[in-house]
Structure 1
Amino acid sequence: MSEPLRLQGISASAGYAEGPLFDLDQTVVSYVGKQTADDEKAALEAAIAVATSRLTALSEMAEGDAADILEFQIAMLQDDALSSPAFAAIRTGLPADKAWRQALDTEIAGYDASDQDYFRARAADIRDIRDQVLRALSEDGDVQAPTGAILYGWDIAPTRFLETDWS
């Protein structure tokens, strides 16, 4: 008989937990490339619109700091400066998912390298934006944690935290 799986980390609360594990760091891998650069561009535009719509719906229920974070994310998604590098990469032949990931990873690296705490903290928001759009591009869509799941991962994205039913 095999030994039970034991994970160690920093828990959000003390006590014993039992339930299915949900990996917060799982990556989206099911994007199917399109035939043309125009189709890739359209797919990315649609995914950005889906992510913006989801964030807008969440922001309508949020208050205080949560609302501020969501407003920041929506503003970033609506800013052409964020998406322009991805669209430029699509014109060179990259599929939408790789172009978006490459553009946002570059942006994230800049935020992470900042000497200001505020900008380093915003890197988590940019990661969340990246992943929101990648999920919208994916055939998998948005995978939700099952009821009673134990969430584990490096960090919990702001939108994942706000979407989770903590009851």
Structure 2
Amino acid sequence: MPEPLRLKGISASAGYAEGPLFSLDPVVARYAGKATAAEEKAALETALGVATGRLATLIEASAGDAADILEFQIAMLEDHALTGPAFAKIASGQPADAAWRQALDAEIAGYETSDQDYFRARAADMRDIRDQVLRALTEDSEAAAPAGAIFYGEDIAPTRFLETDWSSGGGIALKAGSAASHVAMLARSRGVPMIVGLGACPTNPAGVALLDAEHGGIVLAPSKAEIEAFRLLSSSFAARRDRAETFLARPAVTKAGTPVRVQVNIADPSDVDSIDVSTCDGVGLMRTEFLFGKTLPDEETQYRAYRKVLEWAGEK
């Protein structure tokens, strides 16, 4: 039996998960080149449409932050400033897959070299956009992960996270990644354990792993004793989390007894659907500018948005 291997990273979403490792390493699929530049252009246009349609389908099952992320990706795919360089490369004789990859890699590099963590974290969204179109070009599909799997690899795409059924458990362990990424934000909101920054692994890990995303570590090929100890930690975490939830509906006060108002910030009226009004003191900031998308919202649209939030807040 192999010796247990322990890797240390950074907690991005606290929690515990025990399950089989599932590799996020991409499988390279071959693209069948076309005979003419016109056919290459048509192939990329079709792939962009397929990727956009896939995102639109995901949006139908999403709300709040998840929907915002997907809408951002659709907007990027429809932006000529992003797609134009790829079509220009096709016109100069490159195949669609190489043209798209080169154009997007240039964009991704700009995000990755930013001196701000926020923009570096957005590189994952751009890689997701790139890879969705490449999969559409090659007619490739992602392998399905087993229930309760721990996703392990360099990074994980937002769409991969949103397409995964987390109801059976599971978690995320990334060699790179960022605690400021969209996936980390989604993981925290949905209680999915996640760690980032594990770095390179000296072996090719497989089998069962123990993910301790409270302290930022993972154990590969754990011993029986380690599994038993891990399960005790997991149970303790769940009990502490349950106890903490009993305080959610209580008024927030300092140790000296000074009341503290706890208000939520929302980017979309649908955000309140997942917030229990008894756990806060109302809305502190509503990002009304997000109502203004590609078209100006009419009076009825704005009325419904504000009314929804006011009815949710009640007397708060």
Shorter-normalised TM range: 0.7 to 0.9
Partner residue of 2:150?
Answer: 150
Measured against aligned partners, the alpha-carbon deviations of 1:44-97 in whole angstroms (never above 9, x if no partner) come to 111110000000111121111111111110000000111111111111221111
Query: Quick check: 1:30–1:139 contact (8 Å CA) kept in 2?
Result: no
Q: CA distance change for structure 1 residues 79 and 42 in 2, over 3 Å: closer, same or farther?
A: same
The answer to whether the aligner puts 1:138 opposite 2:162 as a matched pair is: no
Residue 92 of structure 1 corresponds to 92
Deviates more, 1:117-126 or 1:3-12: 3-12
1:38 to 2:38 alignment: yes
Partner of 1:80: 80
More moved, 146-155 vs 87-96: 146-155
Residues 127 and 9 from structure 1, CA distance in 2 versus in 1: closer, same or farther, beyond 3 angstroms?
Answer: farther
Q: Give 1:138 deviation, angstroms.
A: 1.3
Q: State the aligned residue count.
A: 164
1:28-67 aligned at under 5 Å gives the runs: 28-67=28-67
Aligned-partner residue type, residue 95 of structure 2: P
Instruction: Select between 75-84 and 150-159 the one with higher mean Cα deviation.
Output: 150-159
Distance 1:34 1:6 in 2: 47
Give 5+ residue unaligned stretches, structure 1: none
Change (3 A) 1:113 1:140: same
Over 3 Å counting, the alpha-carbon distance change for 1:7 and 1:117 in structure 2 is closer
1:135, distance to aligned residue in structure 2 (A): 0.8
Contact 2:90 2:99 in 1 (8 A): yes
Larger displacement relative to structure 2 (150-159 or 136-145): 136-145
Partner of 1:162: 162
User: What's the secondary structure of 2:28's corresponding residue?
Assistant: coil
Report the residue type matching 2:70 in the other structure.
Answer: L
Residue pair 1:22, 1:152 contacting (<8 A) in 2 also? yes
C-alpha displacement of 1:9: 5.9
Q: Which residue does the alignment assign to 1:16?
A: 18
What TM-score results when the alignment is normalised by the length of structure 1? Answer: 0.85
Counterpart residue type for residue 157 of structure 2:
A
Pairs within 5 Å for 1:98-109: 98-109=98-109
Counterparts in 2 of 1:144 and 1:117: CA distance versus 1, 3 Å: same
For 2:139, give the aligned amino acid.
E
The question of whether the paired residues in 1 share the 8 Å contact of 2:108 and 2:127 is answered with: yes
Root-mean-square deviation (CA, aligned residues, Å) is 2.3
**Matching residue's letter, 1:76:** M
Deviates more, 1:157-166 or 1:26-35: 26-35
**Structure in which a larger fraction of residues adopt strand:** 2
Larger radius of gyration: 2
Q: Distance in 2 between matches of 1:164 and 1:147?
A: 9
Structure 2, unmatched stretches of 5+, are 168-316
In 2, Cα distance between the equivalents of 1:15 and 1:51? Answer: 31
Write out per-residue CA displacement over residues 75-131 of structure 1, whole angstroms, 9 at most, x where no aligned residue: 000001111111111112211111111000000111222334443232211111001
TM-score, length basis structure 2: 0.47
Residue 142 to residue 15, structure 1, CA distance change in 2 (3 Å): closer
Contact 1:28 1:140 survives alignment (8 Å): no
